[in-house]
């Protein structure tokens, strides 16, 4: 009976995509510990060659994210995406699509709720992001969808099982994932709520001189140096850890913008519609300041990974048995770099490697201090460990 239901559902999916010749490649479940955040689905008109070739190709693709959690706030959405985009894209791509990544990660004007659907697809050369079918953002630069897709199926995916399911490699989970994925629908009132996101908020004109001075004079934002020298892949091969160069000036705490010098842009009272709390946070800074804040986040994240690599050791027993695997550890630190919480987010099939990754993370505490520009009490990040027994 289940096979018949699955067959009918697949027919519906393929028929709904036939106008664009897109077919379902796979459905993956993203979860942390026992909590599922969302199901992701990948559609394409072609899946030829290896993953790298697919990511670099101009084939039509569509990414769909259906929310399982009761709520995903704009801040959580940002954190779910920014680090995985940063670690899976090259420096040149991060620079080329800098504004698009900024717009994408900050595109929510309210929280996502259970059943909500986020889609990213290409239309007439543009990459369009929609929430529950409503256009939210349009990205004009060709190939941006591949930048987003790398966050899901690049070298360091959210989890290895999520990547394998999206690419259809793991067949054992597809039936259950597909049934769950197809059972998620937005609540009726969500369509009207998302429509409100696109309503223009009338704001009185801001004194341009004040805003300009905040950037040019008071802030004096330094241009971050290149990130290409920062190694983002902790590869443990036998007893040798992949070497990492000396930190660039971006990674130093005193080279990053001091938060107390940031002058939030002043806006007058909204005359038509009050913004949400999350919008107020986003409206606090100018686009230029948000851009540098994001660069600071990315630079700091890569510096944290480099630091963790210094404390990573290949377990001797695992090396003796030639055990290899990919492990991802989720970490939370305070502003001083002290580890507050850490757990294995993505396990390998070998307990020795999982334990080694967690122990290495804890041993690396304290991590580098949080740059003052970030100005938060806690910082969450993930550390990927790629154990390879040569």
As given in the structure block, the two tokens for residue 388 are 């390879």
Residue 203 resides in a domain: no
186-225 as b/e: b if 16+ CB within 10 A: beeebeebbeeeeeeeeeeeeeeeebeebbeeebebeebe
Number of domains in the chain: 2
Same domain, 173 and 286: no
As given in the structure block, the two tokens for residue 131 are 């929430």
Residues 289 and 375: their CA atoms lie apart, in Å, by 13
Same domain, 216 and 356: yes
**What is the extent of the structural domain holding 381?**
208-388
Residue 176 resides in a domain: yes
**pTM of the full structure:** 0.74
pLDDT higher than 80, residue 22: yes
| Each residue's pLDDT tens digit, 177-228 | 999 999 999 999 999 999 999 875 433 333 333 333 333 333 333 333 333 3
Same domain, 18 and 147: yes
Final residue before a domain boundary, out of 167, 197, 227: 197
Final residue before a domain boundary, out of 168, 197, 226: 197
Contacts 24+ apart (CB under 8 A), 44-47: 45/20, 45/21, 47/167, 47/168
Residue 309 resides in a domain: yes
Residues 201 and 274: their CA atoms lie apart, in Å, by 8
Residue 202 resides in a domain: no
> CB–CB of 1/151 below 8 Å?
no
Residue 251 resides in a domain: yes
Same domain, 232 and 181: no
Segment holding 328, helix H or strand E = strand 325-334
Same domain, 169 and 317: no
| Each residue's pLDDT tens digit, 289-304 | 888 888 889 999 999 9
Same domain, 172 and 297: no
Average pLDDT over residues 315-329: 92
Q: Which CATH number covers residue 139?
A: 3.50.70.10
As given in the structure block, the two tokens for residue 346 are 């993505």
| Each residue's pLDDT tens digit, 100-142 | 999 999 999 999 999 999 999 999 889 999 999 999 999 999 9
Final residue before a domain boundary, out of 163, 197, 231: 197
Same domain, 288 and 308: yes
Residue 23 resides in a domain: yes
Q: Which CATH number covers residue 343?
A: 3.30.1150.10
Same domain, 155 and 224: no
């Amino acid at each position: 009976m289940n096979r018949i239901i699955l067959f009918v559902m697949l027919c519906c999916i393929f028929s709904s995509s036939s106008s664009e010749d897109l077919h379902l490649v796979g459905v993956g479940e993203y979860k942390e510990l026992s909590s599922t955040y969302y199901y992701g689905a990948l559609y394409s008109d072609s899946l030829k060659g290896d993953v790298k070739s697919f990511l670099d190709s101009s084939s039509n693709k569509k990414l769909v994210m259906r929310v399982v959690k009761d709520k995903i706030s704009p801040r959580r959405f940002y954190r779910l995406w920014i680090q995985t985009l940063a670690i899976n894209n090259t420096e040149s791509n991060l620079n080329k699509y800098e504004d698009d990544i900024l717009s994408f990660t900050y595109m929510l004007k309210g929280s996502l709720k259970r059943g909500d659907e986020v889609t990213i697809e290409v239309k007439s050369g543009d990459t369009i992001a929609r929430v529950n079918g409503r256009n939210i953002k349009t990205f004009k630069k060709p190939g941006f969808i591949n930048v987003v897709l790398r966050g899901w199926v690049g070298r360091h995916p959210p989890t290895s099982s999520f990547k394998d399911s999206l690419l259809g490699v793991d067949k054992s989970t597809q039936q259950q994932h597909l049934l769950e994925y197809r059972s998620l629908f937005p609540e009726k009132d969500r369509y009207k709520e998302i429509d409100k996101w696109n309503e223009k908020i009338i704001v009185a004109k801001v004194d341009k001189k004040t805003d300009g001075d905040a950037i040019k004079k008071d802030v004096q934002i330094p241009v971050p140096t290149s990130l290409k020298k920062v190694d983002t892949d902790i590869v443990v091969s036998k007893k040798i850890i992949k070497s990492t160069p000396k930190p660039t000036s971006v990674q130093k705490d005193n080279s990053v913008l001091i938060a107390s010098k940031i002058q939030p842009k002043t806006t007058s009272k909204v005359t038509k519609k009050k913004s949400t709390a999350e919008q107020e946070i986003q409206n606090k800074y100018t686009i230029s300041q948000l851009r540098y804040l994001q660069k600071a986040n990315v630079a700091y994240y890569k510096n944290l990974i480099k630091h963790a690599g210094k404390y990573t050791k290949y377990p001797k027993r695992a090396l003796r048995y030639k055990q290899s695997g990919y492990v991802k550890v989720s970490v939370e630190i305070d502003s001083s770099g002290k580890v507050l919480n850490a757990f294995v987010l993505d396990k390998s099939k070998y307990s020795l490697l999982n334990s080694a990754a967690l122990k290495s993370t804890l041993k690396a505490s304290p991590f580098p201090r949080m740059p003052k520009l970030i100005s938060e009490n806690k910082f969450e990040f993930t550390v990927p460990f790629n154990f390879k027994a040569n």
